Amino acid sequence: MLQQGACLPRNHPPGSGEDLRLITWLRVPVSLSCILRLQTWLWLTAVCSQANVASNDAIELRGTLTQQMFSPDSVWRQGFRIQRNADATEWCIESVTTPPRSAFYQSPNTIVTHSKILTATGKDHGEYVEISSLWEGFPLDLGAEYLQLWTAFCAGKYLHERHDQWLPIPYGDLRLDLFPLATRAKLTFLSDSNPYPARIDYLFDHSLLKEATKLLKLQSPGIYLDQRSETLRVLKQHYASARTAAVFQVTQWLNLKGHELPKEWTLEIYGINSACVCVVKWETESATWINGVTKPSIPQVAKVLDKRVRHVQKGVNDVSYTITNAVIPDLHSPTVMRLAVRAARDDVYTLPPARFTWIRGLLLMLLAGLLLAPFFWVKHRTNNI
């Protein structure tokens, strides 16, 4: 009777203390056993769950980026592979080309773009690496197509903090084009926890033009600066503040095991007359969870263009050097700092224009002739006497 279970039998008279003590004593081991089994099951579930997250903590997407400008004949298509971890602290964007070109985050605060240099005949001409820094969290030196994919898939944490703040349009060369730099963002997300923007309205802002000019590549006086001045005049005259300059819009979503991510999106750029001058489209072909982000290895020997070194007053945009140890040097390393000082000292922007070089040489020759003329004239007279 006592072995039958966890409660008093119906035919047992209530109030029997001895029997109750015996039954309670017998129930304790049974309860402890159940609790231990439950704890073991929960522990194993947690371990398996953690192992599953650790082994699938990143997402890989493959798809096609299409850009159409002005006319249907002007169409550019390129395949890309994108990898990013859960919080986008690690990411890599790689073009599906021969040879591939990749851009990835290399902490701390460094973006690396890696590619091979091919001659016109397809001959391998070596490895090429560009190094740049984030500007207030934004990768200004990335190429337009990489910047578009970064904005759509890797910038969620950054974008959640940029509502009604400065946010450049991922279009053109942001170190040469003033128009994409003078916009602020109106952002929409599916939820506060979703890392992908559902819509971005880029609104032109006159107050940002002055600061935007400081971000442009430093150039010598001439045709480029004249064009930049004309662009500034046109923007001030024809673009009103709060006018929509571009719109990013996710048109279709993909659910990857409960994770909502963009399957298709468009980026439309608007010109002076509010007409659409460029449309960029993305179509996801595959998406899967993967075990971490795989980055390309830094080549043993490579030519490096280091854009982290920039000095506005000295006119330095970047420095070039060659690495032979497969290591990206620290920005404050003696080698990089020495090159930066040399670039500032030999800065071409502080030299006179090239067309005046021959005039300077002619003047120096004339001065030398005037100084030496009396010596030759006296010597000639002495010989005649």
Q: What pLDDT tens digit does each residue of the chain (385 aa) get?
A: 333 333 333 343 444 443 433 333 334 344 545 444 444 443 434 333 333 334 468 999 999 999 998 766 788 999 999 999 988 889 999 998 777 789 998 877 889 998 876 555 556 667 889 999 998 899 999 999 999 999 999 999 899 999 999 999 999 999 989 899 999 999 999 999 999 999 999 999 999 988 898 898 887 777 777 888 888 888 888 888 888 999 999 999 999 988 999 999 999 999 877 889 999 999 999 999 999 999 888 889 999 999 998 877 777 888 899 999 998 888 888 888 888 888 776 543 332 333 444 566 677 778 877 777 676 655 555 554 5
Question: Which residues, in sequence order, are CB contacts of 49 under 8 Å at separation 6+?
Answer: none
pLDDT at 45: 40
| Closest C-alpha to 142, from 166, 113, 182, 185 | 113
Residue carrying the six token digits 């001030």: 236
Q: CATH 2.50.20: which residues of the chain?
A: 56-290
Q: Using CA atoms, how far apart are residues 184 and 205, in angstroms rounded to an integer?
A: 7
Distances 106 to 140, 170, 329, 335, 368 between C-alpha atoms, Å: 15, 21, 12, 20, 57
Residue 282 has which token pair?
Answer: 């993305």
Tell me how far the alpha carbon of residue 69 is from its chain's centroid: 23
Burial of 103 (0-12, 13-18, 19+ CB in 10 A): buried
Q: Using CA atoms, how far apart are residues 100 and 77, in angstroms rounded to an integer?
A: 15
pLDDT at 332: 84
Q: Using CA atoms, how far apart are residues 213 and 236, in angstroms rounded to an integer?
A: 13
Residue carrying the six token digits 């060369």: 173
Q: Using CA atoms, how far apart are residues 135 and 241, in angstroms rounded to an integer?
A: 24
pLDDT at 219: 77
HSE-CB at 25 with a 13 A cutoff on CA atoms is 7
Residue 244 has which token pair?
Answer: 């929509």
Statement: the pTM of the whole predicted model exceeds 0.75? no
HSE-CB at 57 with a 13 A cutoff on CA atoms is 15
pLDDT at 221: 75
Q: Using CA atoms, how far apart are residues 297 and 19, in angstroms rounded to an integer?
A: 75
pLDDT at 130: 92
Contact 171, 303 (CB under 8 A): no
Burial of 160 (0-12, 13-18, 19+ CB in 10 A): middle
> Would you mind telling me the total number of residues written for the chain in this entry?
385
* Second CATH level (architecture) for the domain 56-290: Clam (2.50)
Q: Using CA atoms, how far apart are residues 278 and 274, in angstroms rounded to an integer?
A: 12
Can you name the residues that pair with 128 across neighbouring β-strands? 115, 303
